[in-house]
Structure formats: structure tokens, C-alpha cells
Structure 1
Amino acid sequence: MRRAVITGMGAVTPLGVDAETTWRGLIAGRSGVGRLTTFDCTGFPVRIGGQVPDDFDPDSAIRPDADRRWIGRPGRFGLAAVTEALADADCAAAYPPDERGLAMGASVGRPDLPHLLEIARVRSTSGDPTAFVTQPPQRVMADDQNLALNAMARMLGASGPMVGIHTACSGSGHAIGEALRMIQEGDARLMVAGGYDSLTTWADILGFGLLGAMTDRYNDNPRAASRPFDNERSGFVIGEGAVAFVVEERESARARGAHIHAEIRGYGASLNAWRITDSPPDGAGAIEAMEAAIDDSGSDIRDIDVVVAHGTGTQGNDVSETRAIKKVFGDHAYRLAVTSPKSMTGHLTAAAAALNVLVGVGALREYTVPPTINLEIPDRALDLDYVPHCARSMRVSTVLINALAFGGANTSLVIASHREDSP
């Protein structure tokens, strides 16, 4: 069977506007959570989030040939991450267009507040409840959730498969898994895969706040807000950003002399069929995804050294995921290092799984596992090794990555160190 390897990485996150800066922030245990400036959040119950640094400059971060005229905030993060990943892989002329493809976990486009207010104004002044605003073409384009994907495909020069996946918090996990499948099945020799999102808008903050899913206790101390696995956790913290990878067929990458960061060994996906916002208390769904990914990779559970957890900091998710890990790994669960980067970045939603893959690649490369910060008071029901406070040096050869989304869509991936002498 064809094998898939990662040869390029790019990132725009609350910890930095490139992959290396993001990684250094993660192993330093630095929080990227602060007061939101994407809108005037005065009076909102939640006023904090993991926001991309203000020094992000799309004009310098995105390749000049990328058509971004109508692309909004999340799409620009995605284009910048893809630009960096392509440069890192140095693969511009490596494959013909029909052997290049794209799979991204994508932000869902929606009208912004001024647009909604304009619709309301026209309806109220016309007296016609069915009245609507006649929109210029650029308004329609700006709300198109596939516009950034199309721009990425054109920038890549790809005429192979293109997939935009909108499964919320597991979107980029599905995308990377589907890229693996397309390479295994011969549909492409190079795929750009990852995710991008920015739910730091007034509507998203209000909506998640009304659901009771976000913490509202730390507006005056934002760096302490994201607390996965901590007894005082009270909800997740929203984040934003993008992470992208160049994924290539292994023998083709070796033939062109590409630098290989890691190998993608396995992929599993499942659906809870439980509730929209909650994970099953017994870990069902996550169990199936992890078992499928490990089986697909050909690994034994004892081969896994690290689990990069979904780890949101909500009451139910952390319990459900911990129980799932214990069910899948048995006694080996207590020998795993389990870490949650959301403690530092907040929840990057459609890009969250891709950020977890970045953590896994870094752990494989540098034998260092980033910490789960803000884990001050352990929950007695959560008794695994969550790498509290400080990064840990340890030998790492195989990593399991989890993403457990709203709506119950779960993905797990297994990535491993690549050895040139391996068969």
C-alpha cells in the first residue's frame, strides 16, 4: 500500500504567525489567550479568546499569486498557512497538476453584523417582511464558505481532488485523514491538508455563551481561562487560526529528496449519535475512532507514546475522553503522556485537529511534549498523566491525535517518526 508522509508545515495561531514560532510557544507553555479585539465585546459575558497576534500581515504572509480579494479573516489565515507549508516542502514543480489535491477543514461562512443590520433595516422600513437587500457580487463572494478553498487550489495549481470538510472541531482531522486515503488509493501524489477557522465574532461568542459551553469566569485573567482536565474547568475558550501540511506519497517524496517531518500511519472516524454539544459519558465514539486509527496504522497500543487530546476544558468532554483513553489502552493508559494544546491557544475549531498534528510532529522531531498549562487542581476522576505545567523531554516514536467535535463527529490519527531505512 502507498504510504503518506508530511513534508511541509505552516501555521497561523494565537502563539505565532508561523509554524516554528507556534511550536516554540507551545513547548514554552505560553498562553495566547487575551481580551478579544475582533469586535467591541463590552457587555458580553465572554470577552476573551485565543486571537492571532496583531502583527499578522496577510500581504507579506500570502503568496502574491493568491487571489484573496473577497476572502475574509479565517480564509486569510488558511492561505498564509498553506503558503508557508508549500515553501517548507519546496514542491512547486514536483508533480503535474492532476496529481495535486487539497483537503481542508474549513470555516463556515456567515454574514457579519453590519450585513445583518442592513437586512433588518430594509425589512423594517419597507414594511415588507419578505424584503431583502440586493447584494453586490462581492457580498455574495465574501460569504461563500468555499472561496478560500478555491483560492488555495489555484495557488497550488491543483486540478486533482479538492475537498472542503465542515465537521466543526474535527474538520481538519477528517481532512488530513482523507488526504491519507487519497494518497493511499492513488488519487493524488501530493495533498495540502489542514484547517482554518475564526469564530471570534460577536455571533459566535454570543452563541457559544448562550449554550453554556464557554467559560465566563476569567475575563480578568484570560491566561488562566483554558483549563483542560483541571478540577476548576468551566468551559472552553474560543481560538482562531490555521494549520496546513503538505502530505506526499512516500516514495515520490523520497525520490525528489524531500525532507520528511513524519509519517501518517492511520486514520479512524466515528459518530457518537448522542447529543449535539455533549460527549457520551462512557467515551463511546472516541473509543471507536481511536481503535480504528490504531488498527489502521498497524500499531500495537503499546507502541503509542503520546496522546494529543481534544482536551477542551469542558466538564463532559474531559471525562469522556479520559474514559475513552482508558478503555482503548487499558493499563498502558497510565504510561502515556496526554497533552492538550488548547490550554495555551484556546479552541481553533476547524483547525484544532491540525494544531494537534503539529504538536505531534514537534514531539516526534524534538522528543519534547508540550504541557497542559493551568492544570492546578487535579480532578480525582481524571487520573492520567496530562503533562502539567512544563514541557517534558521523552523519547517519542508514535503519537495518537484526537478531535471530538460538536455534533459527535470524531477523528483520530496516528503519526510516527519516519526512518529512511524502513521498508
Structure 2
Amino acid sequence: MTDRRVVITGVEVLAPGGLGRDAFWSLLSEGRTATRGITFFDPSPFRSRVAAEIDFDPEAYGLGPQEIRRMDRAAQFAVVAAGAAVADSGLDLEGHDPYRVGVTVGSAVGATMGLDREYRVVSDGGRLDLVDHEYALPHLYDYFVPSSFAAEVAWTVGAEGPSTVVSTGCTSGIDSIGYAVDLIREGTADVMVAGSSDAPISPITMACFDAIKATTPRHDEPERASRPFDGTRNGFVLGEGAAFFVLEELGSARRRGAHVYAEVAGYATRSNAYHMTGLRPDGLEMAEAIRTALDEARLDPTAIDYVNAHGSGTKQNDRHETAAFKRSLGEHAYRTPVSSIKSMVGHSLGAIGSIEIAASVLAMTHNVVPPTANLHTPDPECDLDYVPLVAREHTTDAVLSVGSGFGGFQSAMVLARPERSAA
């Protein structure tokens, strides 16, 4: 591993209520919510009937009829966001050795919407035990293998270096970026286009989370249904979206005069080896990931100015996370603003980690901490500063963003201004 320092020079976000990084930041900084009753299908048979949907028109983003038919909705998000991130970076990839440009894409559930839709077609609405392949979409295989996401992004940006899909559940969005950073640090790639995408709002996904009662049944007020750290919370709100970044070595970025959003100063991931959906209340494994990420960044816990929480809105996660912050940051945890953007844009599974990294980068850009919406009745066991309801002006030179996923995955990433990080 070399001492190459990796920075973010391009950012794009497609999120509920905010297509594009400016609209996304406007939503967050104003504390607005994008959760609503499900419109993609009839949700009446389900326990949870709310979601954070994106009003996305692929044709408006230049995708043609053949591309729209070939790509699942999540793949469409990915290629649009990745292309825009490259444009934002100002990097002319045609002038780079394509074998030194790579792609990592995070996704928890792949082409769920496309597979769900196509199964209804080939099974004639579920009436056929033996499905009729004659009715299948010609590109159905691409829906079946999530590696198609990385291939589509690589084709879009002209990358011929490492091309990988990272699927670690709800930490996929952080882990995909962490893996990309490692490839640049070790010298395998010079530029990485990294991020994540998921479009899981489909009947099969709702049924899966209904079965374990993880999603909220609060239907009467969907805009207030996502309530991280609130004492009345009763599950998360499913969402969708994508966020992508251009990552490159700091010296190279400075030589070409690029705008540097932040340095990815530290990253770590751990597993609790405990339970498929359960979390130990002590937050030990998340705290270990945080400590390791801080060590890699060569930053003391007191250097963290803001924590972008996983904050899903389930009782066990919010308490587990609170314990992890106290364990890893010590007394500084009580002085550090913490917030969850899932209160506004829902939980987009594998995509949310990247979307939260984008929120962290923009918080640093604007020196504003986004709020935790719908936090009216704090849980006494969640006793940190969760920035309720209203955004707060606050210097954010170093930000910690964390993720927690079913299966026991716990990931942490530290972002810092390059001049603040260790040389």
C-alpha cells in the first residue's frame, strides 16, 4: 500500500425529492421530507405502504428507448449519476489510460424491480408454474446478474480498468467507495468512478421487510413516517436512489486545478458474526470500525465535527449506533452533532451509504449540518445531539459517516479537508 492520498473531485446524487446534488442539498438543508404513499404498485396488501420514491424520467437524462429497455431502473440511476459525476469533476477521461480508470458499484438487491416485473410477465401474473421464456425480455440475464451495473457504468465513462460490484447489504454504498480508495492507494488505478444504486420499491421487497416487521406501518402521515432516534419510531421507510463520485490521487487533482470536495481519509468495515438481523446493544463492532477508520485518517476522535448516522429508525439500530458513538468518540460524542438523512429520503438499502457520503461532502462544502426530520420525542436511550428538525450552521472540517447492514456489516468512513488531514 502506498501513501497516495485519495480525494473526491466529482459528485452526483439522484435521491427522492432531489434529482441532482443541488436539489438534494436543498431538500436536506431545508429539512423537507420526500416520503409518501407508494405509487409504483398497489400497496394495499402490505403492512407497510409508504416509501421514498424518485420522480425519474430516463428520457429527460438522455437515455434512449433501447437503453431504457435494456437496463433496470437501478442501472439507469447508476449510469446517469456516474456520467454526471465525471462531468462535475472536469476530468477528461479520454485523455487517460483507460486501463488506469476503474469502476465500483454498490448494490444490495440488484435489478429487483426489473426481475419482479419480468416474473409477472413470464408467469402470466403468477398463474404458470412453468414460466414461458418466450415472453421474457431479451436482456433478462442482465437483470439477473448485478455485475451488469458495473459494466453499464464502465461503458458509459469509458473505463477499462478494475470493474466491480460490491454487495454488502446496507453498507454497500460505503464499501464500494472504500474499495475504490484502496485500489488508488495501492496503485492499481489512478481514477475510480465509484458509488452505489438501488431501486428496491417493489412488491417482493415490501413483502420481505413486512415479514420481519422492519418497515414502518405508519400510513396515515407518510411524510412523517421516518423518525430516526424518536421515541415513537417503529421502523424504516424504504427508498431508492444513487450517488456516484470521481476519486483520484490528491497530487494529480491539484496539478490539474480540480475542485476538491474532500479527502477520503479513513475507512474500515467490520462484522458482528452475531445474527442475520439483530444487533448487540453495546455497538462494539461499529465502534471498532470507527476507531480503525480514525486511526487510518490519523485523526483523534475530537477532530470529528459531524456524524452522519445510519439512523434507520428501528429501535435496535438507533440504540446500537448511539452506544457505538459513545464507545468510539468518548465524551466528544456528547459535543458532536449527529443526524440521519433517512428521515427525509428514506432507506435506499445499498445506495444509501453513497447518498449519505454525498450528504457529508455537501455538509462540508456548506458548513451546515442537515437535520433529523420528524424528531419530536427523543428516545431517552438516544441521548446525543441529533440536530432535530432544523439544519444548523456548523464548521465541518472532518465528518464521520457510518453504515449498518443486515448480516452484521458495520462500516465507517472519515472525510476531511485535505489541509486538515495528516500529510
Deviations 1:24-73 (A, max 9, x none): 110100101011111121232211101112xx222232578x95541111
Deviations 1:243-276 (A, max 9, x none): 0111111111111111111111000010111111
Q: 1:421 Cα shift?
A: 11
Deviations 1:73-120 (A, max 9, x none): 111111111121011011123421011101111242346445434555
- Provide the residue aligned with 1:60 in structure 2: 60
- Provide the residue aligned with 2:180 in structure 1: 179
Deviations 1:180-223 (A, max 9, x none): 1111111111101111001100110111011110010x212011
- Provide the residue aligned with 2:111 in structure 1: 109
1:275–1:407: 8 Å Cα contact kept in structure 2? yes
Q: Structure 1: state its 5+ residue gaps.
A: none
- Provide the residue aligned with 1:275 in structure 2: 275
- Provide the residue aligned with 2:254 in structure 1: 254
User: Mapping of 1:247-326 within 5 angstroms?
Assistant: 247-326=247-326
Q: Structure 2: state its 5+ residue gaps.
A: none
CA distance in 2, matches of 1:189, 1:68: 31
Q: 1:20 Cα shift?
A: 1.0
**How big is the alpha-carbon RMSD for the aligned residues of Structure 1 and Structure 2?**
2.2
Summarize the Cα distance change of 1:170–1:122 in structure 2 as closer, same or farther, 3 Å threshold.
Answer: closer
Say which SS state the counterpart of residue 285 (structure 1) adopts: helix
1:15 matched to 2:17? The reply is: yes
- Provide the residue aligned with 1:215 in structure 2: 216
User: Mapping of 1:341-356 within 5 angstroms?
Assistant: 341-356=341-356
- Provide the residue aligned with 1:164 in structure 2: 165
2:10–2:247: 8 Å Cα contact kept in structure 1? yes
Say which SS state the counterpart of residue 137 (structure 1) adopts: coil
CA distance in 2, matches of 1:313, 1:109: 25
Q: 1:136 Cα shift?
A: 5.5
2:171–2:411: 8 Å Cα contact kept in structure 1? yes
CA distance in 2, matches of 1:124, 1:71: 26
- Provide the residue aligned with 1:192 in structure 2: 193
Summarize the Cα distance change of 1:314–1:299 in structure 2 as closer, same or farther, 3 Å threshold.
Answer: same
CA distance in 2, matches of 1:244, 1:136: 28
Q: 1:132 Cα shift?
A: 6.2
Q: 1:419 Cα shift?
A: 3.5
Counterpart amino acid of residue 156 in structure 1 = V
2:74–2:111: 8 Å Cα contact kept in structure 1? no
- Provide the residue aligned with 2:142 in structure 1: 141
Summarize the Cα distance change of 1:214–1:123 in structure 2 as closer, same or farther, 3 Å threshold.
Answer: closer
- Provide the residue aligned with 1:381 in structure 2: 381
CA distance in 2, matches of 1:420, 1:211: 44
CA distance in 2, matches of 1:261, 1:140: 38
2:229–2:375: 8 Å Cα contact kept in structure 1? yes
Summarize the Cα distance change of 1:181–1:293 in structure 2 as closer, same or farther, 3 Å threshold.
Answer: same
1:269–1:289: 8 Å Cα contact kept in structure 2? yes
Counterpart amino acid of residue 204 in structure 2 = A
- Provide the residue aligned with 2:402 in structure 1: 402
User: Mapping of 1:115-130 within 5 angstroms?
Assistant: 115-117=118-120, 120=123
Counterpart amino acid of residue 240 in structure 1 = E
Counterpart amino acid of residue 75 in structure 1 = A
1:32 matched to 2:34? The reply is: yes
1:91 matched to 2:91? The reply is: yes
1:3–1:250: 8 Å Cα contact kept in structure 2? yes
CA distance in 1, matches of 2:116, 2:49: 17
Q: 1:133 Cα shift?
A: 3.5
1:122–1:132: 8 Å Cα contact kept in structure 2? no
Deviations 1:354-400 (A, max 9, x none): 11111111111111000001111111111000011100101111000
Counterpart amino acid of residue 187 in structure 2 = G
CA distance in 1, matches of 2:81, 2:140: 25
1:27–1:370: 8 Å Cα contact kept in structure 2? yes
Summarize the Cα distance change of 1:136–1:109 in structure 2 as closer, same or farther, 3 Å threshold.
Answer: closer
- Alignment TM-score, normalising by the size of structure 1: 0.93
1:101–1:162: 8 Å Cα contact kept in structure 2? yes
- Provide the residue aligned with 1:363 in structure 2: 363
1:170–1:403: 8 Å Cα contact kept in structure 2? yes
Summarize the Cα distance change of 1:305–1:139 in structure 2 as closer, same or farther, 3 Å threshold.
Answer: same
- Alignment TM-score, normalising by the size of structure 2: 0.93
Summarize the Cα distance change of 1:276–1:95 in structure 2 as closer, same or farther, 3 Å threshold.
Answer: same
CA distance in 2, matches of 1:186, 1:112: 37
CA distance in 2, matches of 1:115, 1:363: 40
- Provide the residue aligned with 2:49 in structure 1: 47
Say which SS state the counterpart of residue 327 (structure 1) adopts: helix
Summarize the Cα distance change of 1:320–1:30 in structure 2 as closer, same or farther, 3 Å threshold.
Answer: same
